[in-house]
Amino acid sequence: MTPNIGDMHAEQHMPRVFRVMRKEPDSLPTIGDRHLGVRPGIDVDVDAQNNVQVNGKGMSVAPNWRDINHKRIPGRLRPILPGAMGSNSKFCFRYGDGPFVQGALASGLTLEPDSPTHGNVAPAQVVPLATYQGDIAATRSDWVEDET
Amino acid sequence: MTARPLTLSSSYLATVRGTHELHRLIAEGKEDSPEAEAIRDASDGAWEALSETERNRARWVAEDLYSLYEEPPAKQEMTREAQAGLNEAYEARERGEWDRALGLLRTWRAYIDPSLLSYLRGTIWLEAGDPATAALFFQHAHRLNPENESYRAMYVQALNLSKTASH
């Protein structure tokens, strides 16, 4: 069932998640399959009708940017996280302020942790790929750059 | 206490192989290339399988490998404290405390010649069980100081061992 977030601000009490993405001139993340989005067939499974399956897969996130694969963390953050090898054209973004636990993340989306340091932003129900991508894109204004 | 090699999981070794490849691309100014992104994509699964100890070790290897193509820190005059720290690094290596030995070298790296630093890092990784990483450091030591026969010999040995290990 699609979570109803009602009148709540989208990111309040929702799980806090981090993701490395490019940003646009408005300082918000770029919408795209390698940024704020998913790669169909890789990050999510899509059936013959182009519906996204509900199986725990989704857009990869972590409870802290330091937990993300060091090859994705921008190299400029080496003074904070030694061994960072990511592109300096990308940035660490944060969404939400709640615990990293399974549950609603935004309208149509849930967080599905698969370990204490990784999870996926998954569709809450079987939906067309475009709907799922739209639900992810709708969170754009609630992501903030956070490399602290 | 006898120095023993680390137990390096297949996920750890896959992570470090990707690190070697990505460093090669970054050194060539290709950090944003499709090849670099492909390495990052391919490394996510192995990264998720690592323990926290392995993650820290993988990050520090990646950090140390920047020394292969970045300017070294300004050379410092040897002090009693630095000498003691470097002695500690040697002793830690003899005891097989690989991570500690590498950490001490990192702390006191400005007090030793960059070729010696790479040689010492190579000896640690060779004994710790990662000849491919050792070969990169020995190659660097040899490039900085081609007159030193030990550096060349160790490079060749580590290279041969890494080829054997990968088959």
% of chain A exceeding 90 in pLDDT: 91
The CATH classification number of B10-165 equals 1.25.40
Indicate the Cα dihedral angle A30, A36, A42, A47, nearest 10°: -110
Pick among B25, B30, B66, B69 to test the A interface (most A CBs inside 10 A)? B66
Assign A109 to helix, strand or coil: strand
Query: Quick one: pLDDT band at residue A13, thresholds 50, 70, 90?
Result: confident
Pick among A35, A61, A67, A70 to test the B interface (most B CBs inside 10 A)? A70
Query: In chain B, positions 44-63, which contact chain A (CB-CB < 8 Å)?
Result: 44, 47-48, 55, 58-63
What ipTM does this complex have? 0.92
pLDDT at A3: 47
d(CA B63, CA B53): 15
Q: Pick the closest to residue A27 from A118, A148, A145, A147 (CA basis).
A: A145
pLDDT tens column, B4-18: 888 899 999 999 999
pLDDT tens column, A103-128: 999 999 999 999 999 999 999 999 99
Determine how many CB atoms are found less than 10 A away from the CB of residue B53.
11
pLDDT tens column, A38-51: 999 999 999 999 99
Q: Is residue B167 pLDDT above 70, yes or no?
A: no
d(CA A13, CA A4): 13
pLDDT at B164: 85
% of chain A exceeding 70 in pLDDT: 92
pLDDT tens column, B69-86: 999 999 999 999 999 999
Phi, psi torsion values for B138, nearest 5 degrees: -65, -40
d(CA B98, CA A69): 23
pLDDT at A1: 43
Evaluate if pTM is beyond 0.95: no
Q: Is residue B48 pLDDT above 70, yes or no?
A: yes
Average pLDDT, chain B: 95
pLDDT at A2: 45
Q: Is residue B60 pLDDT above 70, yes or no?
A: yes
Inter-chain touch A87–B32, beta carbons under 8 Å: yes
* A72: nearest CB among B26, B40, B55: B40
* B62: nearest CB among A34, A70, A115: A70
Inter-chain touch B36–A87, beta carbons under 8 Å: yes
Inter-chain touch B63–A88, beta carbons under 8 Å: no
Mean pLDDT for A26-45 is: 96
> DSSP readout, chain B?
---------HHHHHHHHHHHHHHHHHHTT-TTSHHHHHHHHHHHHHHHT--HHHHHHHHHHHHHHGGGTSPPPPP----HHHHHHHHHHHHHHHHT-HHHHHHHHHHTGGGS-HHHHHHHHHHHHHHHT-HHHHHHHHHHHHHH-TT-HHHHHHHHHHHHHHHHHT-
The alpha carbon of residue A85 is apart from the nearest alpha carbon of chain B, in Å, by 8
Residues of A with CB under 8 A from a CB of B: 34, 60, 69-72, 75, 78, 81-89, 114-115, 117-118
Average pLDDT, chain A: 93
